[in-house]
Amino acid sequence: MQDDGYASCSFFLEEEEANEAGQAQAASVPVEPLSYSGGRFKNGAVGLCNLGVTNCLNSLLQTLYMNQHFTDILCGIGRPNHKIPAEKRLPYQLLALFEEMQNSKEDAVAPYGFIHCLQTLDIRLCEQHDAADLLFVLWNLLLHQMPHPHLAKRLRALYGIKLKEYTTCHKCSHEKSSDLEVLTIPLPVPYSKYHRTLPLQRALWRFFKPHETSEENKSFCPKCEENTAGQRVLRFLSLPQTLTIHLKRISKRKSTHLEKINRTLSFPSSLDLSDVLDQEQFPEQEHAQSEFKYRLFAVIAHSGTASFGYYCAYVNSSKDQKWYSFNDSSICKVSWDDVKCTYGNMDFHFGATACLLVYIQGEEN
């Protein structure tokens, strides 16, 4: 991740890697899609026990479990056979966990098998995690271990955000471009001396507007044959199915110590990108107006400071279009006003503040 907020193209595996991983597995029969009819709320919602410091993982898992587009892809892997090595079983362990959650008569399930699988892959869960970093690690492991190439392709299409970066050299005006594929849009949340509210739409506009390269981030110009100052600008190569936004609240503001910025950042339940960005920041091909519209599906919020804290998730159920709070083993129905409490507040240093927003293409029901 660049300091100026631009995304790194190292966020994704190459297509060939995912295909090679998939071709090593034998074909299997998909399992039945999840019904989302069980649990106390009859919408599939079931809690996850906190096995140590796993509330960040639990929150991420709930956003995956409650996303039927994701679980439909996951169900396509079928059952594992004995030839699949332990280090390739993460998707199967995740499917087994989700099926256990769907069929559970209890309020919460303990994800022992899935956590054990992560531990065999040297993923340390006994320490504080950043939700965006853990999502990136988890997602890439799942992508790489998908047993069938067509499922890996569907997974990339569901969560991938394709961008094109243009860089213009100030010395010779040469323009070069590169394609990026990222999992999240990283939006810095700057400190505000006067506690001004920052709307999400404004933060997105800032991210996509032209940026001057800093002295440390000069880009190589093939015409000048040296690193030169220039201007960078991003545009969407295609409109993503899922728009995951990382609100970067951790920064070094006054010293070398990390600090959490609790500034209020408001976000809407529905987002129309055509009202936020300019025409030149969208794909060149035409899109229906409805494709620019997104509805908020999930919010992951963090309570605490830059060095310690606690995560919970808010998810809008596709079954009943109601909001629910997922706090490890505890689940409760909440209102949109409760979700808005995660906007942040400079005077409430330990309150829950949104750090990941998951928008799904489509209008609100």
pLDDT digits (tens, 9 = 90+) for 298-308: 999 999 888 88
Dist CA 325 CA 322 (whole Å): 10
Domains by residue range for the chain, with CATH: 35-361 (3.90.70.10)
The one-letter amino acid at 143: L
Percent of the chain with pLDDT over 70: 91
pLDDT digits (tens, 9 = 90+) for 133-149: 999 999 999 999 999 99
Confidence (pLDDT) at 365: 64
β-pair partners for 232: 167, 211
For 238-248, what is the mean pLDDT? 97
For 236-256, what is the mean pLDDT? 88
- Report which listed range, 157-166, 186-195, 253-262, 342-351, is most confident: 157-166
Percent of the chain with pLDDT over 90: 72
Confidence (pLDDT) at 329: 97
Dist CA 316 CA 326 (whole Å): 11
SS3 of the chain: CCCCCCCCHHHCCCHHHHHHHHHCCCCCCCCCCCCCCCCCCCCCCCEECCCCCCHHHHHHHHHHHCCHHHHHHHHCCCCCCCCCCHHHCHHHHHHHHHHHHHHCCCCEECCHHHHHHHHHCCCCCCCCCCHHHHHHHHHHHHHHHCCCHHHHHHHHHHHCEEEEEEEEECCCCCEEEEEEEECCEEEECCCCCCCCCEEHHHHHHHHHCCEECCHHHCEEECCCCEEECEEEEEEECCCCCEEEEEEECEECCCCCCCEECCCCEECCCEEEHHHCCCHHHCCCCCCCHHHHEEEEEEEEEEEECCCCEEEEEEEECCCCCCEEEEECCEEEEECHHHHHHHHCCCCCCCCCEEEEEEEEECCCC
Greater model confidence, 25 or 360: 360
